Structure 1
Amino acid sequence: MKSTEHSDQAEFQESEYFKEKSRERYKIEAKNSELKHRHGYDVATSSGLIGMELQGAMAIFTVNLKRILKLLG
């Protein structure tokens, strides 16, 4: 027997909205994977909130710069 939450979720997954969004999700996941695996966004290398913010900003800046250079070249 399914609870109402499970039934509601199963019904939502059959909706056109969900199907449309799930078709676009792989693009976002590929970018997140690149940040985590190639640019060290998965593990903090320094302690403190400022250090973590700086690491995140540098990783995102690096990825964006690489994309810009790829589009220009």
Structure 2
Amino acid sequence: MLSTQQKIQFRSYSGLYDIIVPKDNLLRKINDLIDFSFIYEELLAKYCHTNGRTAESPIKMFKYLVLKTI
């Protein structure tokens, strides 16, 4: 089963994101400019829709790999 979460939910601390991370930060620009939904579409056929536990969001995992590379 494939999770479809594409955005991080900051909940009550969302105001801190704007204070701590500058508007011209490279990671913020990457997140705003790139549509990561292609990852979900590419991997949709690789996961079983009726069996198994819900997987971690592949978009989130890809973003972790990009962050690790940078």
TM range (shorter): 0.3 to 0.5
- State the structure with bigger RCO (CA 8 A, min sep 6), 1 or 2: 2
Give the TM-score taking structure 1 as reference length: 0.31
User: Which of the two has higher C-alpha Rg?
Assistant: 1
Q: Which has the higher helix share?
A: 1
